[in-house]
Chains A and B, each alone.
Chain A
């Protein structure tokens, strides 16, 4: 019982890796299938060759199921949005959403009186009768999923909790996603995430069932955990309720994998794919998260997402103008037929890298006579692009290590001036490795009123709460630690009457604290 399996379901490939401690015992790449589960089955079957499934202690899965569902508006359920605020409201949920996602709510938006002030005082008394009347309308419309938000529920959850109780009472069988459990301060963005989560609930049930089945079918009885946006994991039970937390796990897993494979906890990670490179910052072994509103498949959100810069540079990136222009066009998945080394006629980053001395891919002789000036110019341009992006991702002027992972990572060996970049072994399956190396985390993101308390006291309170949440999420109580803590007084309020605290605690995942019943 000492093996962990990491699986990363990407748009093109499903990667799987088996780890003992931090050692990669086996790794494989399979093609992602339409139903997703058969791709996982193929990868699992291959990677488990010669391994006793009973030895597997836990299975970690990172999946793009849910982000794809949102991007394509496929498999999303009808949702009713209820905002507890001062009626009538002027700014409605789903402002600026892409057209194809608007039918999720349609006209089913309701405002009920209630909510809190920035310092936790009541904004209005909760209108319980109004809420029950609203529930009757939702029932009549036959909607089974409610996205519930209340003004400043991130400061004082009570009005939102009470409203959820009433809705659950009135709407037996329906799900209620409560905004304070999904997002941070900023009600429009928090509602966006809450609505998406509610819309994903049916799909989450299906996906979780499928994952359980496929893992069980290869004889594994260990707990299955899903990667979250922030590099920590959640149980399948929680994933049924909060699928939204998995939607940005791809970049997170590659960065976590890079940290593990390279043995480096602080640095910059470049994940080189076919079309783009994702560049992000590792802090204490975790990706640094964005503090500003991020767009997810066109929806403004404020939830926990790695601050990743996407650069139009990948293995299939087209080189034009005699090496003067690199990208942004890419041959993408057609690289296997269109790149010079694969017998095609388009000069790509892969071609100039191989010509420049990277590990040969395809038929290297096809680029042996490539114009040296072109190769030099293109690789010089790539170097400038990468250096600039790395500088942007960094948080201080100190020199930090740079780690490259992903299928295209070995190409960077040919780029002059980047010799110090660390390209670890198994860089190609960093995502799956990252998935398997997850920790459990807890977060606090709240505006506190400084009523008779010092800023230090408030921060200490937030830290204790974050650690408690991490332990509840499965972190080893003896090894849980704070990895991020900041408090920012709200400006424009005299005397610093309120402070916004953000704290994150993590700890190595302890499988014993997760029930075997999943």
Chain B
């Protein structure tokens, strides 16, 4: 068990932007909310999933909405508090632990806003080990875990309790409800036992985030390469170093599709890379050959500072390192690939483990 204070929270935020794999939403607002809760109620315990009793009640806490809306209609502590109470009321049980659904981006930190007030620990795990755009794309789905019963609350006092047939229905209905309510909601979802949490979740992802955040900070302070620090820290693979030459973005069906073309620098001089994204980076081609795909993580870091650059903020001329991080093994199974592999996003290629890439 460790206590997450403001500084540890900042490190988690930084690392979670890397795990966001280019998406996941800007964690700034979520961090402000969690920080405020920690300031008022004190540091939040972060526990390893092994410390959780098998019969404990565990639930994911996440926000659903649009990052562009959150920046205006600010999330409130009230909803991250209420969502758990209301869920407990409906379920007739008390939840002993909360946990992030995704450790990439904004939702890595929203559970801390709930945990601080409810005085429950956050489990050092998540259901993705990264960010994905749909709520059914979590490891519990692979075990037959159910996203519902689910509670969704908004600042107008609406509480929506849902039981859905499939996790993909939960995604679609919840998203429609979130839009109608004004695109800023808090959710408690995927109720599970401690035993299930141990079997289902991606372990250690928040402490890995914090550790990664610290590693980048330390590398900068000691004038070492922050990009190398990320690679060393996460068993990452340097896929490419280059300059953004061309960017294409189009928006379809609520998603941002992007393609970035890079020309090589240093050892990669003369080579090219093409990055494909749908909110998150999902596929990287080097000299026309696919070298990394979802569900492995693909991330762009500013070459000098190591600053993680979200897919939406990539601009011409940025000098970046493209790194690949191996995803949780379960994403590499046939079921995992069916749920979050390249074909799930309409890329007609086979998954290639990123560590097989030889530069």
Contact = CB atoms under 8 A, between A and B. Distances in A.
A394 B243 CA distance: 12
Interface stretch (B50-58, B176-184, B192-200, B229-237): B176-184
Contacts of A447: 68
Contacts of A497: 179
Contact of B251 (A86, A124, A395, A488): A488
Contacts of A121: 182
B73 A151 contact: yes
Contacts of A91: 29, 32-33, 36, 74-76
A500 interface: yes
Contacts of A393: 317
Interface string A239-255: 00000000000000000
Contact of B243 (A154, A391, A395, A396): A391
B251 A492 contact: no
B317 A394 contact: yes
Contact of B155 (A86, A118, A392): A86
B76 A500 contact: no
Interface in B306-358: 312-313, 315-319
A447 to B, nearest CB: 7
Given A394-B317, A488-B251, A86 B76 contact: yes
B33 A90 contact: yes
A151 B72 contact: yes
Given A397-B245, A494-B254, A392 B317 contact: yes
Nearest to A150: B72
B251 A489 contact: yes
A292 interface: yes
B253 interface: yes
A187 interface: yes
B2 interface: no
A404 interface: no
A448 interface: no
B110 interface: no
Q: Which of B67, B77, B175, B316: most chain A CB closer than 10 A?
A: B316
B165 interface: no
Nearest to A115: B73
B319 A392 contact: yes
B357 to A, nearest CB: 26
A500 B316 contact: no
Contacts of B183: 118, 492-493
Interface string A182-194: 0001111000000
A491 B179 contact: no
B33 A118 contact: no
A151 B72 CA distance: 6
A459 B315 CA distance: 23
A174 interface: no
B253 A494 contact: yes
A90 B74 contact: yes
B118 to A, nearest CB: 15
B156 interface: yes
Contacts, number: 116
Interface in A277-329: 292
Contacts of A90: 33, 36, 74-78
Nearest to B313: A292
B71 A123 contact: no
Contacts of B73: 85, 115, 117-118, 123, 151-152, 187
Contact of B67 (A123, A489, A491): A491
Interface string B1-38: 00000000000000000000000000001001100100
Contact of A496 (B32, B67, B78, B253): B253
B256 interface: yes
B208 to A, nearest CB: 26
A490 interface: yes
A310 B178 CA distance: 42
Contact of A118 (B78, B182, B251): B182
A88 interface: yes
A186 B65 CA distance: 15
Contacts of A489: 251, 254, 256
B231 to A, nearest CB: 23
A154 B72 contact: yes
A78 B309 CA distance: 38
A394 B90 CA distance: 56
B323 to A, nearest CB: 20
Nearest to A389: B317
Q: Which of A85, A117, A492: most chain B CB closer than 10 A?
A: A492
A95 interface: yes
Contacts of B29: 91
Contacts of B71: 185-188
B279 interface: yes
Given A118-B183, A397-B246, A397-B316, A89 B251 contact: no
A495 interface: yes
A370 B175 CA distance: 69
Given A391-B317, A490-B68, A492-B65, A117 B76 contact: no
Interface string B155-191: 1100000000000000000011001001100000000
Nearest to B263: A397
Contact of B66 (A154, A186, A392, A493): A493
Nearest to A92: B36
Interface string A478-508: 0000000000111111111100100000000
A494 B133 CA distance: 12
A107 B316 CA distance: 44
A250 B317 CA distance: 25
Nearest to B175: A494
B210 to A, nearest CB: 20
A346 B143 CA distance: 69
B74 A117 contact: no
Nearest to A291: B313
B68 A491 contact: yes
B255 interface: yes
A392 B243 CA distance: 9
Given A88-B78, A188-B71, A397-B316, 4 more contacts: A118-B69, A392-B319, A394-B317, A492-B66
13 contacts: A86-B76, A88-B78, A91-B76, A115-B73, A117-B73, A118-B73, A124-B156, A395-B316, A395-B317, A491-B66, A491-B68, A491-B312, A494-B176
